[in-house]
Amino acid sequence: MNIPSTRSPRWLFCCAAAFLSFALLTQSATAQGEHIKSNLLHEIWGVAGGEGVGTTTAVLGDLNADGYDDIAIGAPGAYSYAGAVYVYSGATGDLLLELTGVNYGDTFGASIAPLADINSDGFADIAVGAPNSANGYGEVYFISGYDGATLFQTHANGQTLDQYGFSIANVGDLDFDGFDEVLIGAHGTNANNGAAYVVSPANGTTMFTLLGAITEGYFGISVSGTGDANGDLTGDFVIGAYGANSFSGKAYLYSGSDASALHEFTGLNTEDYLGSAVAAAGDLNQDGYADLFIGAMGENDFAGVVYAHSGFDGSPIAEFRGWYAGDSLGSAIAMVGDADGDGVDDFLLGAPGYDQTRGAASLYSGATASLLDYYTGYSRGDYFGWSIAPAGDYDGRLHADFIIGAPGADSETGADSGYFQAWSLWSPILNPSSYEMSAAQGGVVFYGLDFPWEAGWGAYQLVVNLAGPGNTRWNGLDLPLKNDGLLQSTIAGDVPGPCLGFAGILDGYGDGMAAIWVPGGLPAGMVGTTYWLAAVGGQIGGVWDFGSWANPLTINP
């Protein structure tokens, strides 16, 4: 192998044999997916019975200027169902704001949508639904993220029990005025035929009104933006109508340009409840157009199914099925960003009926559709997974985090106080002591190897590339790295002469240690270079059975 000297930014690694013991900063998930661990970042409970904390969850912008996005949690049962939204620091979990409904029974906080800065004060704002306010007409409040002041509120001038604001979603800037529009569902309109409204946060005016055409279709029970599904450079949106056709359900994809219908999706059987949840799906089939998820929580005896469809032509892409009758998978769906570090956004599916309403949520890879991890509530009646949301990166591991709500959980303060959790998924296989190194000072980065115990006394190897996260097949395993010359060199085991630690034998627990040592005084041209590492393991002489995800190491000044 021809490896340039450390004067070149292509290669700087010299592995030193090292033995270092350090604590792994993690807690295991309540229930773990195979070979994956997750770190519980925050768990916050309601302070009174009946609050239903975690009924809705959303991540806002950075409201307290600490560099981390903050968390909004809906508790529509708080204060005798006046309702509340609690805004917490994403970094510390401290309470930043408490927003409350105006009157008993408003159920303020039944829905939440994050907004960009609509009042030009430099802070992200928030929209909150109160679907039972004004005798069930419903209202949506547009609120300052800086101080919690109401900027304005909207309603539909409809009728009692319209439930305007039961569902809301940020659908992007449809009119290119610099403000993201809000899609508001009112599933009770016209005796449960339903309606939905696209509202501009610039002035509160309604841009589009869409009316459900099916008797008791509950059109607007769920709403979401999807991104650009039809290639017209404007974001589109999807609306669920789970009551249509004797609750077989429907979902409709609309153009954000003119609200024209693009595709219609229909449940297979009576009481499938297709449209129980809808969500953006990124570009799952890599055709350049946005795709979408549709939940059918009632399908297969309420085991539930989540369908992924092409936004461009409506064709099916994939489906995900609940494990057991009553799981109600498809009650909540969210893209959560890149949780596993492979460069592709992943997604979380809620199943609040799992294990007789203990509840669960499953995290899937957006690249492979494989299960990354799953999480469960503590007790039956928690309804864990009722709400889910992305959460940015709170722990600095450079992977997306996420939030799961459990509004039915009981505590010492009372029944149905509820709680939410913020989680970080991270690989236990390759744990770096740092993600960066100084070119001027050099130093050592240690890599703790923590394979599953099944890998004990097996072989391991670390590999490196410069091309970044991706997918390269090697010896029975998909590496989370793009193929390049550096990767092929390290696959071949060709590393600098005196260096040790990039390949070896694990101990009986599947653990080991490697290190990267870099002398100081690296060339200035190396500053800003990022190397990506991954580790693989398996039985000696066999195929690789286990692999980490990509871990970056960036050279700073």
3 state SS for 359-412: EEEEEECCCCCCEEEEEECCCCCCCECCEEEECCCCCCCCCCEEEEEECCCCEC
Q: Residue 496: is its pLDDT beyond 90?
A: no
Tokens, residue 271: 């009481």
Residue 27 above 50 pLDDT?
no
Query: Based on the domain organization, do 439 and 540 belong to the same domain?
Result: yes
Calculate mean pLDDT across residues 321-349.
92
Q: Secondary structure of 150-193 in the HEC alphabet?
A: EEEEECCCCCCCCCCCCEEEEEECCCCCCCCEEEEEECCHHHHC
- Mean pLDDT on 221-229: 98
460 part of a folded domain: yes
- What pLDDT is stored for residue 520 in this prediction? 86
Whether 434 and 541 map to the same domain: the answer is: yes
> Quick one: tokens of 429?
């296989």
Q: Which two tokens stand for residue 198?
A: 């696209």
- Give yes or no: residues 439 and 410 share one domain: no
Instruction: Work out the average pLDDT over 350-367.
Output: 95
User: What is the arithmetic mean of pLDDT over 342-356?
Assistant: 93
Q: How confident is the model at residue 428 (pLDDT cuts 50, 70, 90)?
A: low
Coil/strand/helix, residue 42: strand
Under the banding of pLDDT at 50, 70 and 90, the label for residue 37 is low
Asked if pLDDT for residue 151 goes beyond 80, the answer is: yes
Q: How confident is the model at residue 499 (pLDDT cuts 50, 70, 90)?
A: low
Q: Please give the pLDDT value at position 249.
A: 99
276 found inside a domain: no
> Which run of H or E residues covers position 106?
none
Query: Is it the case that residue 193 has pLDDT exceeding 50?
Result: yes
How much is the mean pLDDT over the chain?
90
- Please tell me the least confidently modeled range out of 7-21, 168-182, 214-228, 523-537: 7-21
Q: How far is CA 120 from CA 60, 98, 123, 125, 553, in A?
A: 16, 22, 8, 10, 37
Kindly state whether residue 88 falls inside one of the protein's structural domains. Answer: no
The end-to-end CA distance of the chain, in Å, is 29
Residue 485 inside a domain? The answer is: yes
Tokens of 377: 């509530």
Q: Reply yes or no on whether the pLDDT at 159 is more than 90.
A: no
pLDDT value, residue 519: 84
| CA 36 – CA 21 distance, rounded (Å) | 21
User: Is residue 352 domain-shared with residue 366, that is, in the same domain?
Assistant: yes
* Residues contacting residue 28 through CB under 8 Å, at least 6 positions apart: 37, 38
Last residue of a domain, one of 426, 451, 474: 426
Nearest to 322 by CA among 358, 362, 284, 357: 362
| Lowest mean pLDDT across 243-252, 346-355, 397-406, 537-546 | 397-406
> Residues of the chain with pLDDT > 70: what percent?
92
pLDDT of residue 7: 27
Region 447-460: mean pLDDT is 91
**73 vs 451, residue with greater confidence:** 73
The residues, ordered by sequence, that sit 6+ positions from 65 with a Cβ below 8 Å of its Cβ are: none
**Confidence category of residue 252, pLDDT binned at 50, 70, 90:** very high
CATH number reported for the structural domain that contains residue 546 in this entry: 2.60.40
Q: Residue 414's pLDDT is what?
A: 94
The CA distance from 90 to 289, in Å, is 32
- Whether 439 and 417 map to the same domain: the answer is no
Amino acid making up residue 458: G
Q: How far apart are CA 530 and CA 396, in angstroms?
A: 16
Assess whether 440 and 517 both reside in one domain.
yes
Domain annotation covers residue 355: yes
Contact predicate 444/553, CB 8 Å: no
Q: Do 456 and 535 have their domain in common? A: yes
Instruction: Give the best-scoring range by mean pLDDT among 2-6, 305-309, 534-538.
Output: 305-309
401 within domain boundaries:
yes
Do 389 and 450 reside in the same domain of the chain?
Answer: no
Domain co-membership, 377 together with 437: no
pLDDT of 34 > 50? The answer is no
CB 445 within 8 A of CB 553: yes
Q: How many domains does the chain have?
A: 2
Residue 197 and residue 156 in contact, taking contact as beta carbons nearer than 8 Å: yes
Which residues are CB-neighbours of 277 under 8 A, at least 6 positions away? 222, 240, 293, 294, 295, 297, 306, 330, 331, 332, 333, 350
pLDDT surpasses 60 at 10: no
Other Cβ atoms within 10 Å of 246 Cβ, number: 12
**Residues 131, 154 contacting (CB under 8 angstroms):** no
| pLDDT at 419 exceeding the cut of 90 | yes
Domain boundary among 400, 426, 452: 426
Structural domain includes residue 444: yes
- Per-residue pLDDT, 28: 29
Q: Which of 399, 426, 453 is the last residue of a domain?
A: 426
Could you identify the residue written with the tokens 């610099």?
178
pLDDT at 25: 23
User: CA angle 146-148-154, nearest 5°?
Assistant: 115
Residues 470 and 394 in one domain: no
Examine residue 420 and state whether it is found in any structural domain, yes or no.
Answer: yes
Burial annotation 93-116 (CB, 10 A radius, 16+ → b, else e): eeebbebbbebebbbbbbbbbbbe
- Please indicate, yes or no, whether residues 530 and 443 belong to a single structural domain of this protein: yes
Whole-number Cα distances in Å, 391 to 53, 71, 337, 397, 499: 17, 8, 8, 13, 39
The pTM of this model reads 0.79
Give the pLDDT confidence score for residue 160 in this predicted structure. 87
pLDDT of residue 24: 23
Residue 35 scores a pLDDT above 80: no
Which of 152-166, 269-283, 299-313 comes out lowest in average pLDDT?
A: 152-166
Residues 466 and 485 in one domain: yes
Section 74-103 average pLDDT:
97
Domain that holds residue 362: 37-52+345-426
